[in-house]
């Protein structure tokens, strides 16, 4: 199996393979060989060699390359969706949406070709202009997580390539197949010149080797907070810039005047979609005492309505991605119950769930307190822990009682409280009276320990550029 792409040529990874497992059946789909140290080195060198010519192309030509990549994904939608569905365990319908989103993302980023602007600033000397222009960063290492594998790869590749950078991608070892196949299709169709987009496969050790290469100018990574910290510590040695999209533990405040049906719909989606394996998932539901019981009833009703099952069935949710994740989420539920939480619906190991596979039903837990582990840690599973609150001050205080800072939700119609929350919640993304889901033109960025940098929109493009100042004396 060739899974390493260096300068347009496919190679077999020289090190031992890592298994990719179907989480619905626990069966191994295949084993993906890891790139050796030498292969990682050559991939970075290929990206560095290809970068000047790629950057010298007119921006509209690079935009055309992105559009060709989009077409490539769309034309192979079914095949890519099946791979995503098999490796992540998500329903085929949703995996198809992931492919569509990736293609739309490429099209959106292609539109930035004529929009990246420089500046002219007044000079101190006569007959001189000062130009601030934007140039590429150089070689970008892209490291992805497993929950939306294709989208996370494209979210990095589209703006990086558009702005004249070249790239070495190291997809997650848990769900690498759709990314490998997408890059294979892109290279077969010659969407970009050789060396512009390179691929190395493997686990964290391969990622670490890639990040440490001195020719890597920027590392863009999506993953766990602890991995982000390790990458950042390593980057101190090469001074590569970093963009880290890390975890979250989003609070969702349901105030007493909220539209409870709207809040229950929104939170059911934000807590359970992709089996809770979304960085913006609502993981701490802070509900005003007056509406607590009413809200919980509505949330439980929605949780019970969700169908869990295999990719080809007409279901809403699949299994969790792997055994590690399954054990972590199952333990979070068990510990929360032992600490005094009340299981209102869902759970793991239920008779209604298949005996093999990593199944957890959408779970609502009440009587949760800020002292419990489920309040403190990112669970990344289909669990909605509900905490009773008495005042808006308490809601804000508990919402902010985390080192994460990715997303937060508020359900209320009180204008003053909404404005207060917008200024007092310490998160990069705040959803008011709606569920999660970012716009292409927004900026998905984690505050505090949820990351550095961010993706999408103008700011997500510009981070792949650096400013060059030209003092031009013409007198
Ligand atoms: N903020 C976001 O946009 C966003 C989106 C999706 C997922 N996430 C977060 O990702 C996490 C789940 O993903 P995961 O389990 O794949 O994360 P992870 O940190 O375990 O792995 C992410 C990637 O980092 C690589 N890696 C591991 N150690 C490395 C090292 N020392 N150097 C370089 N690379 C290394 C892995 O091989 C993988 O490709 C959750 O915390 C989730 O919240 C964040």
Nearest CA to ligand 1 atom 27: 204
Confidence of residue 144 (pLDDT cuts 50, 70, 90): very high
As a whole number of angstroms, the distance between CA 457 and CA 439 comes to: 8
Best of 20, 179, 224, 282 for a ligand 1 pocket test (most atoms within 8 Å of beta carbon): 224
Answer whether residue 475 shows pLDDT above 90.
Answer: no
Same domain flag for 58 and 96: yes
For residue 332, give the CATH number of its domain.
3.40.309.10
Give the mean pLDDT of 303-317.
Answer: 93
Same domain flag for 236 and 355: no
Q: What is the percentage of the chain residues whose pLDDT exceeds 70?
A: 100
> Is ligand 1 within 6 A of the CB of residue 207?
yes
Same domain flag for 191 and 263: no
Query: Can you give the pLDDT at residue 139?
Result: 99
Q: How is residue 192 annotated by DSSP?
A: S
Same domain flag for 283 and 226: no
CA angle 360, 363, 368 (to 5 degrees): 135
Give the mean pLDDT of 229-233.
Answer: 98
Same domain flag for 467 and 366: no
Query: Can you give the pLDDT at residue 261?
Result: 98
371: annotated active-site residue: no
> Is ligand 1 within 6 A of the CB of residue 204?
yes
Q: What ipTM, to 2 d.p.?
A: 0.97
Confidence of residue 299 (pLDDT cuts 50, 70, 90): very high
Query: Can you give the pLDDT at residue 169?
Result: 98
Answer whether residue 222 shows pLDDT above 90.
Answer: yes
For residue 214, give the CATH number of its domain.
3.40.605.10
Same domain flag for 429 and 454: no
As a whole number of angstroms, the distance between CA 246 and CA 199 comes to: 22
Best of 88, 101, 140, 145 for a ligand 1 pocket test (most atoms within 8 Å of beta carbon): 145
Confidence of residue 154 (pLDDT cuts 50, 70, 90): very high
Are the C-beta atoms of residues 79 and 92 closer than 8 Å to each other? no
pLDDT in tens, 330-349: 999 999 999 999 999 999 99
Same domain flag for 225 and 360: no
Q: Which range marks the domain in which residue 269 is found? A: 250-444
Atom of ligand 1 nearest to the CA of 145: 16
Atom of ligand 1 nearest to the CA of 202: 37
> Is ligand 1 within 6 A of the CB of residue 46?
no
- Give the Å distance between the CA of 222 and the centre of ligand 1: 5
Query: Can you give the pLDDT at residue 312?
Result: 82
Q: Which residues of 252-282 are buried (b: 16+ CB within 10 A; e: fewer)?
A: bbbbbebebeebbbbbbbbbbbbbbbbbbbb
Atom of ligand 1 nearest to the CA of 279: 43
Nearest CA to ligand 1 atom 31: 208
- Active-site choice (11, 87, 173, 245): 245
297: annotated active-site residue: no
- Give the Å distance between the CA of 446 and the centre of ligand 1: 14
Query: Residue 348 — φ and ψ, nearest 5°?
Result: -120, 165
Edge-to-edge strands of the sheet including 451-452?
9-12, 2-6, 197-199, 166-170, 139-143, 218-222, 241-245, 451-452
- Give the Å distance between the CA of 145 and the centre of ligand 1: 4
As a whole number of angstroms, the distance between CA 460 and CA 458 comes to: 5
What is the three-state SS of 81-150?
HHHHHHHHCCCHHHHHHHHHHHHHHHHHHHHHHHCCCCEEECCCCCCEEEEEEEEECCEEEEECCCCCHH
Query: Can you give the pLDDT at residue 303?
Result: 98
- Active-site choice (279, 283, 378, 455): 279
pLDDT in tens, 398-450: 999 999 999 999 999 999 999 999 999 999 999 999 999 999 999 999 999 99
Answer whether residue 186 shows pLDDT above 90.
Answer: yes
Query: Can you give the pLDDT at residue 313?
Result: 86
404 contacts: CB under 8 Å, gap ≥ 6:
225, 246, 247, 248, 249, 250, 378, 446, 448, 449, 450
Atom of ligand 1 nearest to the CA of 230: 31
Nearest CA to ligand 1 atom 28: 204
Helix (H/G/I), strand (E/B), else coil: 316:
coil
Nearest CA to ligand 1 atom 17: 223
Q: Which residues of 142-173 are buried (b: 16+ CB within 10 A; e: fewer)?
A: bbbbbbbbbbbbbbbbbbbbbbbbbbbbbbbb
Same domain flag for 215 and 273: no
Same domain flag for 35 and 71: yes
Query: Can you give the pLDDT at residue 311?
Result: 83
Give the mean pLDDT of 116-136.
Answer: 97
Query: Can you give the pLDDT at residue 142?
Result: 98
- Give the Å distance between the CA of 156 and the centre of ligand 1: 14
Query: Residue 184 — φ and ψ, nearest 5°?
Result: -60, -45
As a whole number of angstroms, the distance between CA 111 and CA 52 comes to: 22
Query: Can you give the pLDDT at residue 224?
Result: 97
Computed over its alpha carbons, how large is the radius of gyration of the chain? Answer: 23
Same domain flag for 86 and 215: yes
Number of domains in the chain: 2
Same domain flag for 357 and 458: no
As a whole number of angstroms, the distance between CA 157 and CA 180 comes to: 14
Confidence of residue 388 (pLDDT cuts 50, 70, 90): very high
> Is ligand 1 within 6 A of the CB of residue 427?
no
Number of H-type helices and E-type strands within the chain: 15, 20
Nearest CA to ligand 1 atom 5: 279
pLDDT in tens, 258-297: 999 999 999 999 999 999 999 999 999 999 999 999 999 9
- Give the Å distance between the CA of 54 and the centre of ligand 1: 29
Same domain flag for 226 and 304: no
CA 136 to chain centre: 23
């Amino acid at each position: 199996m060739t899974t390493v792409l260096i300068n347009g040529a496919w190679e077999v990874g020289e090190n031992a393979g890592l298994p990719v497992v179907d989480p619905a059946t626990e069966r191994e789909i295949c084993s993906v060989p890891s790139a050796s140290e030498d292969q990682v080195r050559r991939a970075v060198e290929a990206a560095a060699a290809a970068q000047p010519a790629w950057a010298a192309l007119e921006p509209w030509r690079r935009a055309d390359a992105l559009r060709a990549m989009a077409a490539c994904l769309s034309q192979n939608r079914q095949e890519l969706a099946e791979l995503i569905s098999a490796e992540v365990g998500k329903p085929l319908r949703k995996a198809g949406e992931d492919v569509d989103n990736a293609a739309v993302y490429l099209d959106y980023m292609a539109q930035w070709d004529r929009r990246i602007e420089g500046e002219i600033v007044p000079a101190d000397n006569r007959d001189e202009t000062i130009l601030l222009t934007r140039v590429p960063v150089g070689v970008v290492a892209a490291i992805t997580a497993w929950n939306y594998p294709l989208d996370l790869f494209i979210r990095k590749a589209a703006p990086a390539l558009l702005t004249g950078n070249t790239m070495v991608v190291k997809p997650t070892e848990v769900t690498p197949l759709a990314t490998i196949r997408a890059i294979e299709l892109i290279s077969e169709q010659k969407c970009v010149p050789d060396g512009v987009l390179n691929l190395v496969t493997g686990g964290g050790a391969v990622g670490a080797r890639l990040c440490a290469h001195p020719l890597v100018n920027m590392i863009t990574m999506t993953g766990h907070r602890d991995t982000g910290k390790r990458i950042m510590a390593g980057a101190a040695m090469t001074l590569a810039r970093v963009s880290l999209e890390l975890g979250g533990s989003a609070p969702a405040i349901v105030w007493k005047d909220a539209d409870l049906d709207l809040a229950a719909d929104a939170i059911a989606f934000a807590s359970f979609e992709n089996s809770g394996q979304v960085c913006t998932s609502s993981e701490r539901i802070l509900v005003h005492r007056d509406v607590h019981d009413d809200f919980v009833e509505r949330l439980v009703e929605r949780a019970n309505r969700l169908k869990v099952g295999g990719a080809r069935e007409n279901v809403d949710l699949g299994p969790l991605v792997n055994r590690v994740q399954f054990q972590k989420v199952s333990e979070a539920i068990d510990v929360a119950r032992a600490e005094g939480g009340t299981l209102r619906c869902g759970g793991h190991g239920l008779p209604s769930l298949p005996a093999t596979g990593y199944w957890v039903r959408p779970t609502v837990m009440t009587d949760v307190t800020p002292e419990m582990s489920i309040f403190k840690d990112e669970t990344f599973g289909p669990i909605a822990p509900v905490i009773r609150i008495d005042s808006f001050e308490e809601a804000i205080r508990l919402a902010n009682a985390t080192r994460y800072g990715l997303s937060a939700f508020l359900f209320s119609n009180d204008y003053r409280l909404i404005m207060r929350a917008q200024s007092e919640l310490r998160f990069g993304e705040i959803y008011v009276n709606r569920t999660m889901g970012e716009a292409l033109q927004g900026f998905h960025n984690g505050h505090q320990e949820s990351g550095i940098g961010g993706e999408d929109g103008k700011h997500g493009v510009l981070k792949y550029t650096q400013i060059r100042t030209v003092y031009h004396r013409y007198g």
